[in-house]
Structure 1
């Protein structure tokens, strides 16, 4: 019995090495897979019948009985084992199907226990199939549960033989001989069989875990480059990473029109920024589905001496549109294993998600930048009309002063236009903008206020967002000094210095100040009032937050009748990063 059970276990082990069987065991069973499982475990039952041990009047024959049994013979075998395992793995349909195949074959095999054994086999298939609904092969002790169920099914078979087989004396004598070895061997065989299946699942889980880790690792390495979109530089770095961490002999990335990068074999004719070298790629772009090629002819490269013999081409998608392809090439026609294929498919989905997120992020930034640019480009119409009126009056009385103011007005608008096109400018340029504005305002109100500046010379080349100082000075002039006490002269002080690795830019005025509620709201949202909207301060703070994040600071200090102090702190060690931000904005 052990020898015959060993034959079935060897067959089970060989089956476990087949990829198709491993996939069937590991996946949810559709009808096609259930039919395959019925066939497999039904055949197990048939083999058990042929390899069973004949019992004839207490004599035992070890020969295989291809032609069946005589009417006075019975057989000890492992038929119930295969049917029980089939039912547990596949559920009621598989259990019933395998039980019918093995049971009907046993019935046709002959012997005085044929009816009893046929019925018990079908019954075992039904019972184990029903139990299979709740049976989870992945549970820790699943193999032990299967052994107990297998033993119980053998016990049921012994009981049915005693009830149905005739003559009863022969049936009783048979059960005494075969009960213990059949129950023991079938239990042991079930134990080994289930361990083999659990090993299959454990290997698959381990492979998936490693594969997932590998895919996420590659995705993490490629994320900074895919965030830049599909361009030659980013795709070249991505292709190098994929080539290094997969078994491919060449990796290529394309957009819809041309090859963006190709690393590895065949680089002499798969050239970046050239048209597609293979028709396979065009097929993926048109259909949006993964395509595999196992021969050079399927790849359809225009070069006959191309060393690439197999490939997998995946679509790269964003917003449900194919925007490019990822291609892995191999020298061998069977270079891509099933595990690698699943890895590559997973990478394709991850890369598509990265490109979609990058596109959404780019659109978000463009919208923010467009909003900021619109705010930057705003010029109060009253300021323009007042400046023109002031210059018009001076033309008759002081032509030289009028000419100087006209130049300052020109410089003011030039600064506005330049600031609207740039994300960062030197502090010195911003100060020129402030000077131009003050020259025009002080021409209208010669003795209303004075301005003093203390600027660290080493800070003049530091890059800051444009329209940072000028709106603060304008706020002081129009709002801080609007309701000053009669005879009191307004004073504005501007300071810029280095402190604790930051540039601190401060404006202080001795104007009317503001209440705590006003101070709390300014810089966080537009505040609508008779005096203004607070848009200028909100604009400044928003741009600083967008460019520098939490490493910068925008602080307002003010009390009624005590003036206002506004401090802007920008990190000096973020200057290079700020330049890269601005460069990325223009490149985008």
Structure 2
């Protein structure tokens, strides 16, 4: 029994050695990670089927309860049997691949054993099939119970599967043979299954841990480079991004180019791979032309013309924005043996991330330009309706009061100078806005002398606050045009500008007729057409507030308890030179 145990340990040791070599092959690791796919199951059946046949060939021949010396069994004589690790391989096949893989491998191993014995031992076909099926079903149970990482469970499964095989041997080949080989084979199968599955699980766990670490590093790298690539492929941002990439990847050198020149080079070779000079390597030029990743395994393939260049290998990946090549990311090695499949995969992943970041930055810049254009378009709509009235008023005054007409022309100049400033800028100083308002009011008072009383109250420290251009003027103009109907006197408008914490509050209050209840919900949200205008000014103002501040910019209209209405603009307090 001891001799059989030692010999079986030798055979199982060979299987374990082959298993260890197999699980360290990258292709087999990926196969295990995708083992539920049909193609993966087919390959697992082939691999474990070959393992099972090998165990039949390397089995230990037993005749008359004695061990027959042999090395490779292609044929088994009548009245002899073999002790082997076939059940171990079938059990592992089921535990790795599930019932379909286990049962199929069991069937292959049993059929081979049947022909190896010259048609003797047909029960091995059924027993091997049953063991593979049961071990596969146990795998499903272990997954359900979340016990698939418990090593001792696999040892128990190995013992159980070999015990099933011994029941068949005892029944069909006699109890004497079963009694002789049961102990060593059950022990060996339990130990072997434990070791085999431990190797697989440890390898897969190491892969998961390595991927987790790599993913963590890549996410950190992506997060740190995001602000720089979003800024576009520029020298300063590319230099900062290249330094971060090299720090995380620990490569010999990192280089970033646009379509024409080197923007940044960090690490080895920086004495001649200098930013602001043209792309100097032939490899980079090919990538820019083809839009495909290229790999160089020698200095000659890199194509640097400097004879003292220390760069011995490189991966050059194109950077895209809107499906067009905008530059390259180059990962350099001073030792060509360090350029492996892992680095190639990393390079492709980083290029995809960085391309997305560049494209995101361009999209944001384009969006901001569109938003600015929309705001300026909305601002332009504020101006025309006032211009003709002012010209008519000045024209009439020129006949009877040339000095006042001259003064009003100056105010009109001030007013439209403010308009030009507003057309160039989305925000103005509050002090500039009040000057603009004063010019407007003087022109309006010339048309309707003493009809309106306008009071403005503001804290001095808020004069430097930034607000959307025309914001106050639009609210005052709205009150003058709509609040008082045709009333000739006692028309008061109060402008109050205050702040509360970090919020600037612009409030325009009148003592007019108020706002019809049906219109309150529409003001600022849609055009409200009236006899005195198109009703778009408040809508435009509200849209500008949302474009500039989002939900933090609010325009609110409400009726007072007594006569009149109050319009309130709330927006983030922003002072020239920084918030307080």
Structure 1 length-normalised TM: 0.83
How far apart are the structure 2 equivalents of 1:117 and 1:564? 98
- Alignment partner of 1:361 out of 364, 369, 390: 364
Does structure 2 conserve the Cα–Cα contact (< 8 Å) formed by 1:269 and 1:277?
A: no
Shift in CA distance, 25/378, structure 1 to aligned 2, threshold 3 Å: same
Does structure 1 conserve the Cα–Cα contact (< 8 Å) formed by 2:293 and 2:317?
A: yes
Unaligned stretches of 5+ residues in structure 2: 1-7
Shift in CA distance, 575/385, structure 1 to aligned 2, threshold 3 Å: closer
- Alignment partner of 2:445 out of 442, 445, 450: 442
Shift of 1:51: 4.0
Counterpart of 1:25? 32
How far apart are the structure 2 equivalents of 1:254 and 1:146? 54
Q: How many residues of Structure 1 are paired with residues of Structure 2 in the alignment?
A: 570
Deviates more, 1:150-159 or 1:427-436: 150-159
How far apart are the structure 1 equivalents of 2:428 and 2:383? 22
Counterpart of 1:119? 125
Counterpart of 1:7? 14
Deviates more, 1:117-126 or 1:270-279: 117-126
How far apart are the structure 2 equivalents of 1:148 and 1:542? 72
Counterpart of 1:409? 412
Shift of 1:200: 1.7
Where do residues 60-459 of structure 1 align in structure 2 (5 Å cutoff)? 60-61=67-68, 64-65=71-72, 70-90=77-97, 106=113, 115-116=121-122, 119=125, 123=129, 127=133, 131=137, 140-142=146-148, 150-151=158-159, 153-155=161-163, 157-158=165-166, 161=169, 171-459=174-462
Does structure 1 conserve the Cα–Cα contact (< 8 Å) formed by 2:131 and 2:164?
A: no
- Alignment partner of 1:477 out of 464, 480, 492: 480
How far apart are the structure 1 equivalents of 2:285 and 2:255? 13
Does structure 2 conserve the Cα–Cα contact (< 8 Å) formed by 1:523 and 1:534?
A: no
Shift in CA distance, 355/564, structure 1 to aligned 2, threshold 3 Å: same
Q: Secondary structure at the match of 1:325?
A: strand
Does structure 2 conserve the Cα–Cα contact (< 8 Å) formed by 1:89 and 1:132?
A: no
Structure 2 length-normalised TM: 0.84
Shift of 1:224: 2.5
Shift of 1:338: 4.7
Shift of 1:400: 2.5
Q: Does 1:558 align with 2:562?
A: no
Shift of 1:193: 0.8
How far apart are the structure 2 equivalents of 1:57 and 1:122? 24
Deviates more, 1:432-441 or 1:93-102: 93-102
How far apart are the structure 1 equivalents of 2:520 and 2:486? 18
Does structure 1 conserve the Cα–Cα contact (< 8 Å) formed by 2:514 and 2:564?
A: yes
In the TM superposition, what whole-angstrom CA distance separates every residue of 1:267-297 from its partner, at most 9, and x where no partner exists? 2333334432333334444444443333333
Counterpart of 1:57? 64
Does structure 1 conserve the Cα–Cα contact (< 8 Å) formed by 2:505 and 2:569?
A: yes
How far apart are the structure 1 equivalents of 2:420 and 2:413? 11
Counterpart of 1:514? 515
How far apart are the structure 2 equivalents of 1:448 and 1:404? 20
Q: Secondary structure at the match of 1:202?
A: helix
Unaligned stretches of 5+ residues in structure 1: 579-588
Does structure 1 conserve the Cα–Cα contact (< 8 Å) formed by 2:170 and 2:177?
A: no
Counterpart of 1:583? none
